[in-house]
Structure 1
Amino acid sequence: MKEDLFIKSAIQQFKDYKALAERTFAQLNEADFHFQPDTANNNLAVNITHLHGNMRSRWTNFLTEDGEKEWRSRDAEFEEQHLDHTALLRLWEEGWKCLLGALESLRPEDLEKTVTIRTKPLTVIEAIHRQLAHYSYHVGQIVFIGKHIRKDQWQDLSIAKGQSAAYNDQMKTEIK
């Protein structure tokens, strides 16, 4: 059934972006999570607290309540919380658990339903796409900041520059 494939694909896409950020986190130390690149950009800690708040708000009672919950304090998510690495990763996991739990509970017929985010009606598919785009945007920020911090010590998360042909050759070999 195509609807099952969509749900499975969405779950995998979210997990892939989660893994990109986590592979970035693994290259950093405690202080790096609070590195402020400049006043216009958020540090990793702020990105994590924002994603946590957004995920909990959007995915708690996903099919039955507006995705912008009254208990959410979005503005506070963008203020430095001075949380340590352990607390930040706890928030990170809590947000992702909420998101993935909601997606894993969806049935194919749920995709035809309408949900709301900030009173705007969206199909479930539109809401999933919206959040996937939002989270990938922030994961991109996380990776960029990680690369900025690590500079020449950065370990690539995908195909290293200049290595596309070798990677393609390896993939051809693995497929056979």
Structure 2
Amino acid sequence: MSIAQTYLDSVKKRFLTHRLMGEKTLERLNEAQLNWQPDEGSNSIYLIIKHISGNMLSRWTDFLTTDGEKPWRNRDTEFDNSHATREEVLELWKKGWDCMMQALDSLQEADLEKTVYIRSEPHAVVDAINRQLAHIPYHVGQIVYIGKMIMKEQWESLSIPKGKSADFNKKMTGNK
């Protein structure tokens, strides 16, 4: 396998890991919790999802052929305080992720050598992908953290629970 294909496979795997982490958090929360804000200056999970969905749709729609900041996107309104139903939140989540993953799935090795534009600034395709690989997990981390704040002691770890690293390592190496 070529380094380009290895890179694309790795990127998709990393994105899917974060998608799953976000989805596991969303599954645990009700509509009120998805719209909860720690204070007026902070974003709810819904607002974060509205933002990353808008970002993914803008960046990944016609990824190789149009500027990643689409004229139809209004980033500022993604942070307007508003309320959404649980179904609306989940649909925004799905729509953004599906758009991005379909675009990534369509990329060929030769596409990695191309240039795309974001707000008229040229980016190597690899850099544009890496930019998203930094941006999206940053916000997924916020979603998880807010979920933990809401659920407090009812929260179940999405990765290795505190104090369980040795158990996890033993399991991974087959030493039970």
TM-score class normalised by the smaller sequence? over 0.9
* Higher mean C-alpha deviation, range 37-46 or range 89-98: 37-46
- What is the SS of the residue equivalent to 1:122? strand
Once the two structures are superposed, the pairs formed by residues 10-159 of structure 1 within 5 Å of their partners are 10-159=11-160
Q: Distance in 1 between matches of 2:68 and 2:170?
A: 45
Identity of aligned residues (%): 49
CA distance in 2, matches of 1:83, 1:41: 16
Whole-Å separation in 2 of the counterparts to 1:58 and 1:140? 20
Bigger relative contact order, structure 1 or 2 (CA pairs below 8 A, ≥6 apart) = 1
Per the alignment, in what secondary structure is the counterpart of residue 160 of structure 1? coil
Q: C-alpha separation between the residues in 1 aligned to 2:95 and 2:102?
A: 10
Length-normalised TM-score, structure 2: 0.96
CA distance in 2 between counterparts of 1:147 and 1:83 reads 20
Match of 2:122, SS? Answer: strand
| 1:6 partnered with 2:7 | yes
- The count of aligned residue pairs is 175
Match for 1:164: what amino acid?
S
Q: In structure 1, what is the Cα distance between the partners aligned to 2:77 and 2:151?
A: 28
- In structure 2, list runs of 5 or more residues that go unmatched: none
Tell me, which stretches of 5 or more residues in structure 1 are unaligned?
A: none
Shift of 1:93: 0.5
- Shifted more, 104-113 versus 22-31: the winner is 22-31
* CA distance in 2: counterparts of 1:30 and 1:143, whole angstroms: 16
The two structures have a TM-score, normalised by structure 1, of 0.96
Q: Give me the whole-angstrom Cα distance separating, in 1, the residues matched to 2:40 and 2:55.
A: 22
Q: Runs ≥4 in structure 1, deviation > 2 angstroms?
A: none
SS at match of 1:116: strand
Contact 1:67 1:118 (8 Å CA) reproduced: yes
Q: CA deviation at 1:45?
A: 0.5
Structure-1 separation of matches of 2:73 and 2:166: 47
8 Å CA contact 1:114, 1:122 repeated in 2: yes
Kindly report the root-mean-square deviation, in angstroms, between the aligned alpha carbons of the 2 structures: 1.2
Are the equivalent residues in 2 in contact too, given 1:45–1:80 (CA < 8 A)? Answer: no
Secondary structure at the residue paired with 2:158? coil
How far the C-alpha of 1:39 sits from its partner, in A, is: 2.5
